[in-house]
Structure 1
Amino acid sequence: MGVSVSVIVPMYNVAPFVERCARQLFEQTLENVELIFIDDCSPDNSASIVANLLESYPSRKEQVQIVRHEVNKGLPSARNTGLKIAKGEFVFHCDGDDWVETNALELLFNNANAQNADIVWCDYYLTFKDNERYMSQQAMQTSNDPLYILEQTLSGRLKYNVWNKLVKRDLYLAHDITFPDGYGMGEDMTMIQLFAVAKRVSYLPEALYHYVQLNSEAFTKKPSPKHLDDIKYNVDRVIKFLENRYASQLDDYIHYFKLNTKLPFLISADQSSYERWLSFYPESNAYIEKNPSFNFRTRFIQKAALKRQFWLIKLYYYFVIKVVYGLIYK
């Protein structure tokens, strides 16, 4: 019997978190898995933590590989290294500072088989120090149609996170889809390409993944000019892929995608970040009112930015993001 699921776990500066990540994977109820840990030349002892923990799970030893990059190559390259090794029918990505429920792989794999799906996605938790926030990933209507789900993802209703999705490995192979080596910020957008080539998809309405919000060393916590270049590269890469496959069919949704890509610039108290929002994809600003997935608050801060009413955005940030969310989720 072949491997049912290959799990790829990139590791870089995740020593405080990786033991829980690995333990939850070693205790999966799905037996027929392979677990591929990619040590991306991490300066800490993440790899040895996993290796030492594995001694307590002798039945998993033959299913686990710990691969080390001799130089730091970045998150996309770590995922690609895992894909080259993977032998599973399906691939699942789990970042080294996060963790999954012990029945996650079994539930996702069984759902994929029951629905004959190329991709299955689930809900997830934003995990803070003292509590968690449930993040529903339900589309506007129940659908196994990849095009509809692709539209929902581009519009921002569904997240293109790489780590709450089980993907048939043949999708990567048959369409030569890999992660963007050297362009780490926005590398999750690769999932949009996979949805674009899927024939049938499925949604599992249960939170099985814990996206930990405690790692100050996490890649996305440190924006830089290079990260901004990465975002533009990955957006252009996805748009080119979609246009080659769908021509002009998704034009409106591509504008929604651009708006969603730059929306985080407005979740800030930094005026230079607001100016950056104005400079990114101005051709898409006319679509703010058209996107059915934008709620009132999202439209409000974007329209305030258009009118350069930056004081309103700053007020929203401090009151809603820092006070309301900051007090509830910590």
Structure 2
Amino acid sequence: MTLLSLVVPAYRVQGYLRECMDSILNQSFTDIEVIAVDDASPDSCGEIFAEYAARDSRVQVIALEQNVGLGEARNVGLDRATGEYVWFIDSDDWIEPDCLAKVAARLRQTSPDMLIVDHVRSYWNLGVTTSSMAEVFPTPPGEEVFTVRERPEVLRLLHTAWNRIVRREFMVELGLRFGLGWYEDVSFTYPALLKAQRITVLDRVCVHYRQRRTGAITRTPGERHFDVFPHWHRVFELIDAWGAEVDDLRPLLFERMIWHYLTVLGNGDRISKELRHRFFDQMVEDYAKWCPPGGYAVPDGPEGVKQRLVGQGKWGTFSLLRAVAKTRSRTNAWVRRSKQSAKRAARKGLRLAREAVLRAYYRVQLRLPMDRSLALYAAYWYRGYSCNPAAIYEKARELAPGVRGVWVVRRDKVASMPRGVDYVIAGTRRYYRALARARWLINNVNYPDHAIKRPGSVHVQTHHGTPVKVMGLDQQRHPIGAAQMDFAQLLRRVDRWDYSITSNTFSTQMWERAYPSSYEALETGYPRNDRLANATPEDVAAARNRVGVAPGERVVLYLPTHREHLPGYRPPFDYDEFAGQLGEGSRLLVRSHYFHDRDKAGFVDGAADTVVDVSGYPSVEDLYLAADVMVTDYSSAMFDFAVLDRPIVIYAPDWTTYQVTRGVYFDVTAEPPGAVALTFPDLLDVFRSGAADDDAAAKARANFRRRFCQLDDGRAAERVVRRVFTA
């Protein structure tokens, strides 16, 4: 028999599910089965589960036809489980490396009905808070086995299902099931604790309880928080049914119930102001109904005061004390913010002084009526007309002619603007006027921090690539690659977004985790790739002519990305030797990352005539169309070029360092779009041997295209325009 079944229900957690599954399946202990329950999730959870099941026979997927909620989804997984023990893992959490080996060892040593493991709360900003394990058990119990009656303090541990592993036959014999609605853990955990004859504790952090910025139940206000009451009612109904066997534990459970109610009520993110009195009244009713005849041990301090007020039904006094405490907390927070603001103002004083006049003008413009026909476009920090915003601009002129498009451009990039495209120069009065008055703001990066989202405006974040390297909040785990990044400021920018355009399902999942906010994801494909998907042989010939490629010439395009952690980094690449390997009738085009656009020395130095630096060429799409083969490392260019279904070679000479330092979302050497070379001699050999386009490379490219290019049908820009401008 398998020792451990892990039940993982999933609903709307596509951005976190891979991390959860990897944390389980990459453990050194392997005697497990994973029951993956897709609770009719409307996002990509089902597809992610299917991917893992195809790769690992330990994963069984159950796809529910309709959403049943976490409790019932766990029940479905429990019914399928065959392991001696069952562990219910929440799909947005993850477990510690090698913790399964420790869990298995303790299970085998003690044969418990329930094993409780330690956890930490892991916040989106990388903050971590420990559980109450050390407070509950100042002296770790070790391998001790006990009952609740022997160690009643165990009731003070967080009452979730995911921090405990339970013997399956124990649950079956007890008829233990999860109830419906939120707070389903209550009516599962406490009955199990009351009936368990063998409980043990593993004083080791095993679970990372993710504290999400958005989407968490504990941060979602509404009446569903009233579900906590029927679950506690079920606990006391069972206590009544079991009678003398557990009745002496009633006072302890009662205190936990009132504590839990107060915790829910005290969280302003759960119970809105208009619902608090009704919630309090239900607490008072439950207090009167379930309070033990002989009373219970009321806690000391503020907690005890609140519980007594509930028992006395004094809503007015309770509300007053709550308001006083909240005011004091806000005052302290204001003092802290004021001090921080003063420090920031001192550091930025000189720069702010120079911009004071223009910012004042901007604030005046914000008070004037919005221009309901104006759309403001920008790309790559005002580097000119390009990428997804350009493709959307062109399609909007066709499908939404009533929308007037204006671009923002740096002064040194004005010459690159196409004829007939209206623009404003960044930092000028016209720029601030457009920024303040535009109804739509479209950008493939963020507008500056000083940009204010006014009511009624629509911000569209198009992004500018499918992510290989980690982005947004995920960069917090790789501080070397995210030096000096202000993540709090980043989130303020993200909160301005109304739409986030994604190139594929994978990107949707990663952006959801990297940029948690309330925007709507538009999984449309990238508008900039419409040109590639729709290209005809005539279009290809015209692009090759513009680039200066002779008919019949074989073109290799090399596009290395930049290294944030290594300014000025140049990959080990001998252009002359590589061009020599390509032979006559070939041309090597080299394009640096746009961050190097002010590198006066040029990216290619002293190379042969057949090597051309195209870093300054205005249209990367022309280069894609002109190229027969692409060589790149970790650039998102590979996803765009894959639309053309032409050979791609991954040249990753610093792969080991890059994945640790910068962080990556997937292994481009294990799931590449073609052949892979980790050294320059290997790269030469790839072209010498023909491996750049052999059957293995073609198969890898086909798999890559199925995963990342399914939306590239040539109509992405149309989908965006119809949703954003004409819906």
TM bucket, shorter chain? 0.7 to 0.9
Cα offset, 1:232, TM superposition: 2.0
Pairs aligned (count): 315
Please name the residue that 2:198 is paired with. Answer: 200
Q: Per the alignment, in what secondary structure is the counterpart of residue 66 of structure 2?
A: coil
For the structure 1 residues 171 and 71, does the alpha-carbon distance in structure 2 shift closer, same or farther, using more than 3 Å as the test? same
Query: Matches of 1:235 and 1:70 in 2, distance apart?
Result: 30
For structure 1, list consecutive stretches of 5 or more residues without a partner in the other structure: none
Distance 1:26 1:19 in 2: 10
**Greater mean alpha carbon deviation, residues 24-33 or residues 218-227:** 218-227
Larger deviation: 196-205 or 141-150?
141-150
SS at match of 1:124: strand
Name the CA distance, whole Å, in 1 between partners of 2:326 and 2:183. Answer: 23
The correspondence for 1:69, drawn from 36, 45, 64, is 64
Counterpart residue type for residue 137 of structure 1: M
Between the aligned partners of 1:192 and 1:176, the Cα distance in structure 2 is 14
Q: Could you say if the C-alpha distance between residues 33 and 224 of structure 1 is closer, same or farther in structure 2, counting changes exceeding 3 Å?
A: same
1:135 corresponds, among 104, 124, 131, to: 131
Question: How far apart in 2 are the matches of 1:51 and 1:319?
Answer: 51
Match of 2:81 among 81, 86, 107: 86
Structure 2 distance, partners of 1:26, 1:251, is: 40
Quote the offset at 1:147 in angstroms. Answer: 2.2
CA-CA distance at 1:273 after TM superposition: 5.1
CA drift of 1:13 comes to 0.2
Taking a change above 3 Å as real, the CA distance of residues 150 and 275 of structure 1, as seen in their structure-2 partners, is: farther
**Alpha-carbon displacement from aligned partner over 1:197-218 (angstroms, at most 9, x marks no partner):** 2111111111110111115223
For residues 41-73 of structure 1, the C-alpha deviation after alignment (integer angstroms, 9 at most, x for no partner) is: 000001212333556xx4xx2210111100111
Give me the whole-angstrom Cα distance separating, in 1, the residues matched to 2:287 and 2:191.
21
CA distance in 2, matches of 1:17, 1:90: 25
Offset of 1:160 from its aligned partner? 1.1
Name 2:210's counterpart in structure 1. Answer: 212
CA distance in 2: counterparts of 1:110 and 1:31, whole angstroms? 13
Report the equivalent of 1:299: 304
Compare relative contact order (CA 8 Å, sep 6+) and give the higher one, 1 or 2.
1
**Contact 2:3/2:31, CA 8 A, preserved across alignment:** yes
Supply the RMSD in Å over aligned alpha carbons.
3.0
Amino acid at match of 1:261: H
Residue pair 2:4, 2:83 contacting (<8 A) in 1 also = yes
Q: Secondary structure at the match of 2:15?
A: coil
Go from structure 1 to structure 2 and tell me whether the alpha carbon gap of 1:110 and 1:276 turns closer, same or farther (over 3 Å shift): farther
Which segment drifts farther, 299-308 or 21-30? Answer: 299-308
1:179-194 superposed matches below 5 A: 179-180=178-179, 183-189=180-186, 190-194=188-192
Q: 1:150 to 1:242 in 2, by over 3 A?
A: farther
3-state DSSP of counterpart to 2:60 = strand
8 Å CA contact retained: 2:86, 2:166: yes
Which of 117, 121, 129 lines up with 2:116 in the alignment? Answer: 121
Identity %: 22
CA apart distance, 1:252? 1.5
**Alignment-derived partner of residue 683 in structure 2:** none
Q: Distance in 2 between matches of 1:309 and 1:70?
A: 45
Q: Aligned letter for 1:84?
A: D
Whether contact under 8 Å (1:120, 1:202) holds in the other structure is yes
CA deviations over 1:129-168 (Å, ceiling 9, x no partner): 22111113253574632223784355xx222111010111
Cα distance in 2 between the residues matched to 1:76 and 1:213: 20
1:243: Cα distance to partner?
Answer: 2.5
Given the superposition, is the C-alpha separation of residues 87 and 162 from structure 1 closer, same or farther in structure 2, using an over 3 Å criterion?
A: same
Aligned residue type for 2:16: F
Do the aligned partners of residues 49 and 295 (structure 1) sit closer, same or farther apart at CA in structure 2, a change above 3 Å counting?
Answer: farther
Matching of residues 161-310 of structure 1 within 5 Å: 161-180=160-179, 183-189=180-186, 190-214=188-212, 216-228=214-226, 230-247=227-244, 248-263=247-262, 264-268=264-268, 270-272=272-274, 274-282=276-284, 284=287, 290-291=296-297, 294=299, 296-302=301-307, 306=314, 308-310=317-319
Other-structure match for 1:144: 145
Query: Is the 2:181–2:224 Cα contact (8 Å) retained in structure 1?
Result: no
- TM-score scaled by length of structure 1: 0.84
Determine if the alignment matches structure 1 residue 98 to structure 2 residue 98. no
CA shift at 1:119, angstroms?
Answer: 0.8
* Structure 2 residues not aligned, in runs of 5+: 338-487, 489-727
Shift of 1:321: 9.3
Q: Distance in 1 between matches of 2:327 and 2:249?
A: 35
Contact 2:6 2:87 in 1 (8 A): yes
Give the aligned partner of residue 10 of structure 1: 9
In 2, Cα distance between the equivalents of 1:213 and 1:48? 24
Give the SS at the match of 1:147.
coil
Deviations 1:262-282 (A, max 9, x none): 112023385445424531332
Q: Displacement of 1:109 after TM fit?
A: 2.2
Conserved in 2, the CA contact under 8 Å of 1:256 and 1:284? no
In the alignment, is the contact (CA less than 8 A) between 2:239 and 2:250 conserved in 1? Answer: no
Q: Do the aligned residues in 1 keep the contact of 2:17 with 2:45 (CA within 8 Å)?
A: yes
Task: Please give the secondary structure, in 2, of the residue aligned with 1:146.
Answer: coil
* Cα contact 1:171–1:197 (8 A) shared by 2: no
Aligned partner letter, 2:44: N
Which moves more between the two structures, 2-11 or 261-270?
A: 261-270
Instruction: Check the 8 A contact 1:136/1:205 in 2, yes or no.
Output: no
SS at match of 1:195: helix
Give the match's secondary structure for 1:117: coil
Contact 2:147/2:199 (8 A) holds in 1: yes
Moved more, 234-243 or 61-70: 234-243
Structure 1's 321 and 109: CA in aligned 2 closer, same or farther, altered over 3 A? farther
Determine if contact 1:258/1:281 at 8 Å carries over to the other structure.
no
The alpha-carbon deviation at position 110 of structure 1 amounts to 1.3
Using the alignment, how far apart are the partners of 2:33 and 2:328 within structure 1? 45
Q: Is the 8 A contact 2:148 2:154 kept in 1?
A: no
Equivalent residues of 2:39, 2:73 under 8 A apart: yes
1:255 CA drift (Å): 2.2
**Aligned partner letter, 2:61:** I
Using the TM superposition, give the Cα deviation of residue 113 of structure 1 relative to its aligned residue in structure 2, in angstroms. Answer: 2.0
Displacement of 1:92 in angstroms is 0.3
Matched, 1:313 2:322: yes
Q: Contact 1:267–1:317 at 8 Å: present in 2 too? A: no
**Residues 258-303 of structure 1: CA distance to partner in whole angstroms, max 9, x if unpaired?**
202311202338544542453133263889x9546x4634335545
CA distance in 2: counterparts of 1:291 and 1:266, whole angstroms: 21
How far does residue 231 in structure 1 lie from its aligned partner after superposition? 1.9
Aligned partner of 1:110 in structure 2 is 105
Is the partner of 1:187 in helix, strand or coil?
coil
Paired letter, 1:266: G
| Greater radius of gyration (CA) | 2
Using the size of structure 2 for normalisation, the TM-score is 0.40
